[in-house]
Amino acid sequence: MRVLYSRYWPLLAKLAPLAAFVLYVSAVLFVGRRLTLPNLYSRYALAWVVVQSSALFLITVGLLANKWIGVRLAHRRQLRADQIAEQMVGFALRNQPDNGLLRYAQRYPREFLKVWEGSLTSLRGSARERVLALLPRTRLDQQLQAKVVGTDPGQAVWAISLLRELNQVGSLQTIEEALQHPAETVRASACFALAAHGSDRQQEKVFALLPALPFWQRIVLFQQIQDSPALEKYLALTFRSPDRTVVLAALEFVLSRQRIQPVGSAGELAVSPDLEVRIKFFKTLPLLATKEDPASLAASGLADVDWRVRAMAARASGSLHLSSLTATLAARLSLSEQAAETGHIARALASLGGESLQRLRAFTNSDNNMTRAVTAEVLERALLSPGGTR
């Protein structure tokens, strides 16, 4: 298993098929030399047929036997799991003691854990708590902890997904060790678990790793992070960080949570020299509780040199209902040459309603075909929306 993590793996992965092929050719040559046909072509053709037929026979028998055994084992496991599930329901509803379940856990740990995991997703309240507390009594949590730091990445990920439900100090410490696991999938799972259930110290450790994590891991991680003092501390620092990756990660975090986030002063981000930071900042602005007046921040965005920043600032103006920016938005709409920017400005004006909507209607007579068409589309959408136009 360790070879899967080794730096030689990519080379081995490329060589393994070639090695298997060489073995195959060697087998044909070996059989060919033992045949006595006078014609060379016929001799090796026959050898080829013999080797292929043997390989085919072995593969077919292996395949079918494996499936047959697998299906039967799965059926038996399912029967056991059904029995365990029956007892688990009784236990969760306080109708039955845990003796039977503990016996099952010792004899059939795999099936027990499967049922236990399923119960946690379907149960709520005290019943769930009872089922949760059952695992340490079976001592299977210790086996799972061993799997977390074991070499099999699939087992480690599975063990982490079960242990994180327990929310125990010992389990979380083992999960913390998995942050050093050679497999990326395991490290990612450990991060997710600690972000959701870890102590302040463990969460801080994950936050420190956050900007360097791949984008997809950040997406998952952001959804796992719970409100905590560690989070507040982290966010307060990140928005003033000189490192763009840290700032971008923090903005993504706020964006993915879709909740208002107090961030103190964030005005510097509106005029950041980094284009991506400005775009993301204005995209996130409706969710940021800043010390600065959002209208003045949005106005600076609407005056940006890049149309993507202006588009996001317009979007924010609409979301935040910044009616004071109506004139600025209308002025920008008459200047916009990008359909996407025009669309955002027009939607912002439509969502502001009242005078803004009147101003938007005037653009249906614009000389610019694109502006006219986009305005018509936005007005049509506004009319068809549940509230219609205000």
Phi, psi (deg, nearest 5) at residue 230: -60, -35
CB nearer to another protein: pick between 36 and 95: 36
CA 37 to chain centre: 62
Q: How many CA atoms lie within 13 A of 92 on its CB side?
A: 22
CB nearer to another protein: pick between 221 and 270: 221
What's the min distance (Å) between Cβ of 123 and another protein? Answer: 18
What's the min distance (Å) between Cβ of 163 and another protein? Answer: 12
Contacts to another protein by CB under 8 A = 1, 4, 13-14, 16-18, 20-21, 24-25, 39, 41-42, 45-46, 48-49, 52-53, 55-56, 59-60, 63-64, 66-68, 71, 152-154, 157, 160-161, 183-185, 188-189, 192, 214-216, 218-220, 222-224, 252, 255-256, 258, 339, 343, 370, 373-374, 376-377, 380, 384
* Distance between CA atoms of residues 112 and 114, nearest Å: 5
Q: How many CA atoms lie within 13 A of 192 on its CB side?
A: 21
Q: Counting beta carbons within 10 angstroms of the beta carbon of residue 390, is it exposed (0 to 12), middle (13 to 18) or buried (19 or more)?
A: exposed
* Distance between CA atoms of residues 148 and 142, nearest Å: 10
What's the min distance (Å) between Cβ of 293 and another protein? Answer: 26
Residues facing 289 on adjacent strands? 262
* Distance between CA atoms of residues 270 and 280, nearest Å: 10
CB nearer to another protein: pick between 20 and 236: 20
Answer for the pair 156, 150: CB distance below 8 angstroms, yes or no.
yes
CB nearer to another protein: pick between 51 and 105: 51
What's the min distance (Å) between Cβ of 261 and another protein? Answer: 14
What's the min distance (Å) between Cβ of 198 and another protein? Answer: 15
Helix or strand or coil: residue 271? Answer: coil
CB nearer to another protein: pick between 188 and 263: 188
CB nearer to another protein: pick between 214 and 273: 214
CB nearer to another protein: pick between 125 and 386: 386
* Residues in Cβ contact with 215 at an 8 Å cutoff, skipping those fewer than 6 apart: none
CB nearer to another protein: pick between 185 and 199: 185
What's the min distance (Å) between Cβ of 296 and another protein? Answer: 26
* Residues in Cβ contact with 324 at an 8 Å cutoff, skipping those fewer than 6 apart: 295
Torsion angle, alpha carbons of 343, 344, 350, 351, to 10: 150
What's the min distance (Å) between Cβ of 47 and another protein? Answer: 9
Helix or strand or coil: residue 7? Answer: coil
* Distance between CA atoms of residues 116 and 140, nearest Å: 11
What's the min distance (Å) between Cβ of 106 and another protein? Answer: 27
What's the min distance (Å) between Cβ of 370 and another protein? Answer: 7
* Distance between CA atoms of residues 96 and 55, nearest Å: 54
CB nearer to another protein: pick between 141 and 165: 165
What's the Cα-to-Cα distance from 168 to each of 5, 62, 129, 139, 193, rounded to whole Å?
A: 29, 43, 13, 13, 12
